[in-house]
Chains A and B, each alone.
Chain A
Amino acid sequence: MSDTLLAILHMCIFPGGLFALAVSFFFKGLDRRVEARLQRRVGPPLVQPWLDLAKLLTKETLIPRTACRPAFLLAPVFGFTGMAVCAAFIPIPGVFQGLFNMGDLLVIFYLLPIPAMALMLGGSASSSPFGAVGFSREMLLMLAYETPLLMILLSVAMLVGKGLAGGAWGAEFSLLKIVAWQQQTGSLGFNPAMIPALLAYLIFLPGTMGVAPFDIPEAETEIIEGPLLEYGGPLLALFQITSALKTFVVLGLGVALFFPGTISDLWPVNLIWFVLKCLALMLLSLTLVKSATGRFRIDQAFRFYVTVPTALALCSLILVWVM
């Protein structure tokens, strides 16, 4: 009973749910602000994501007459649940070990595509042709960026596995052990063999978050938000929350995989340190990239992902293997 309660608390309040939402809404506000400054605009206030959320929650829920009602309604809930659970598995070094100490790379790898799937489900259930085009684009993009992600995770797992086994062949998929090993022997982000993997992860981030140059499934000027076109009100708010939680998950995963070092024994300091590292990761891989690029066409994006980040991740994988 208490275990269940604890799990629910971890998913709803800390680190998943409310905490993750607060952190990523803060990031989102900052992201919009920094982007605006890069374009010599003023930008919205930092609380804008909260205001947007509040506005959406007060709106009416409209369901298109031709939509498949259950799937249309369930898609955002499906995506949200997936991300809330996933967020609870993300360890915050020096603060939180991950739900039941069992944050597992493979579990996270399976949970990560859920928001994209929810988007695909919602898009196709909305019966809008834009949703259908968005569906096919999201699917292609997902296939393209999941391959390098798997290779990145494998190279980390193999490197740590080999380290733990004293040089023998091995793979370690427990995020907790990966973090602990790095805290003892140094962050993987500074390991020459892992630098290509880190770069590949930085390239993976804008794709999975659907921001420029990879905002193709929701391209506003092409297919008017695609799958999200028919969504409004609380359902759209749920999609936004899901996206915010996903930001937390992918940034937190990046920190856990590459830079899990702590700077103090006090947990509040470590927490702030973790947030700052996530923020640096976001500004580098999302905000700056977004303000310096336009949008790829889906075929260009697909070709890009199956070449550049895949090659980088493969490079790390081979380096780990031969070293």
Chain B
Amino acid sequence: MSSGTFTMPLGPVHVALEEPVYFHLTVEGETVRRVELTSGHVHRGMEAMATQRSLIKNTTLTERVCSLCSNSHSFTYCMAVENVLGIDIPERARYLRVLAEEIKRVASHLFNTAIQAHIIGFKSLFMHVMEVREMMQDIKETVYGNRMNLASNCIGGVKCDVDNELLQYIVKMIAKVEPAVEEIREIYETNSMVLGRTKGLGLLPREDAVRLGVVGPVARGSGVPVDVRKDSPYAAYPELEFKSFLEEGCCIHSRTKVRLNEIFESFKLIRQCCERVPQGAVVAPMRQIRTAEACARTEAPRGEVFYYIRTNGTDMPARLKWRVPSYMNWEALGVMMRDCKVADVALITNSIDPCVSCTER
């Protein structure tokens, strides 16, 4: 370390980070010369806990891995269990699962966008975006009874049916949220203050994105077309029309743009689900547990979630293992933060939408 540099500890508790991560920054003036990341502050031993609970109870456990993408975890877990047991879920359940997933995606993307405004000190914009997100929270609360953990998935289908009245309510609310999000998208794309802080910063070139195997909006913001919903369609996605957005900017702004554009695709998906959801049962019966292994993957708001399960004939899994998107995107921070300013560290971290509790579980 040369004499011109000094060490700056950022975290593990820091106002701009919602979850504990520790950045050991070597700083020269305002320029960051080296970043070392330390995590593991919120390890809860969830994978071990999963092997001590029955398959059914684990649906509840996996939902609590993370709050913002809680639905994706139980969704993927249920898919993995259905694969291992060979359960075919009813048509209606496939649509209802997509419905819950997309509602969560909109709320999650709006949350991340709001936090970006908070980090650049734009309090009014933060409040504005959070206010719009609150409408999505209202939808969740009205339909599922909860604001964060929807508890909508269960092995073999979905736990609670969403009746026609609620489906109409969702469509009505989406019609209200959409113009508000349109306004937000316009602000993020034209406001010089936001652009000045996000455009051309935190660069992750395409080659690095491919090399590091980043997923989700981070990959799509660097022009890498990965989206599990398109690559290996699951649930009702093969029957629904939507686009997967790509941005070539490779910067913080492109990732925000990908997220904001995806929100509109989610609205489309929610509408299609509400219109096309077929009548019928919502849950398939449980089957005999065999000794087998299986995996499943879905596209969570932050990228690909992967679950692996091995059963040994008992009602408790012999092994349950999952890989979350933030784990893949984490390493990209080193590339993004190369020679950045101290002022941009939090902004860059937020641009990968890190989910620390998922990653450390």
* Interfacial residues, chain A to chain B (CB-CB below 8 A): 35, 38-41, 129-130, 132-133, 136-137, 212-213, 215-216, 219-224, 290-300
Chain A residues near B30 (CB, 8 Å)? Answer: 133, 136-137, 298
Contacting chain A: which of B74-82, B173-181, B192-200, B270-278? B192-200
- Whether the Cβ atoms of A223 and B15 lie closer than 8 Å is no
Given contacts A293-B122, A294-B121, contact A221 B27 (CB under 8 A): no
- Whether the Cβ atoms of B342 and A294 lie closer than 8 Å is no
> How far does the Cβ of B176 sit from chain A's closest Cβ, in whole Å?
16
> How far does the Cβ of B28 sit from chain A's closest Cβ, in whole Å?
11
CA distance A133 to B32 in the complex (A): 12
* Interfacial residues, chain B to chain A (CB-CB below 8 A): 6-9, 14-16, 27, 29-30, 117-125, 127-128, 131, 191, 193-194, 196-197, 341-346
Chain A residues near B121 (CB, 8 Å)? Answer: 212-213, 215, 219-221, 294-295
Chain A residues near B131 (CB, 8 Å)? Answer: 40
Given contacts A129-B27, A222-B343, contact A295 B120 (CB under 8 A): yes
Task: Report the nearest B residue to A222, measured CB to CB.
Answer: B343
| In the A-B complex, the 4 residue pairs with the closest CB atoms | A294-B122, A295-B121, A221-B16, A39-B127
- Whether the Cβ atoms of B197 and A297 lie closer than 8 Å is yes
Given contacts A40-B127, A41-B127, contact A297 B344 (CB under 8 A): yes
Besides the contacts A39-B124, A39-B128, what 6 more A-B pairs have beta carbons closer than 8 Å?
Answer: A40-B131, A222-B346, A291-B123, A291-B124, A295-B122, A299-B341
Task: Report the nearest A residue to B115, measured CB to CB.
Answer: A221
- Whether the Cβ atoms of B27 and A133 lie closer than 8 Å is yes
Task: Provide 5 A-B residue pairs closer than 8 Å at the C-beta atoms, listed in order of the A residue.
Answer: A129-B7, A213-B121, A223-B343, A295-B120, A296-B193
Task: Report the nearest A residue to B344, measured CB to CB.
Answer: A297
Chain A residues near B194 (CB, 8 Å)? Answer: 294
CA distance A154 to B346 in the complex (A): 41
CA distance A221 to B350 in the complex (A): 12
Chain A residues near B9 (CB, 8 Å)? Answer: 129
Chain B residues near A224 (CB, 8 Å)? Answer: 14-15
Task: Report the nearest B residue to A130, measured CB to CB.
Answer: B8
- Whether the Cβ atoms of B8 and A129 lie closer than 8 Å is yes
Chain B residues near A216 (CB, 8 Å)? Answer: 343
> How far does the Cβ of B125 sit from chain A's closest Cβ, in whole Å?
7
- Whether the Cβ atoms of A132 and B15 lie closer than 8 Å is no
CA distance A224 to B346 in the complex (A): 11
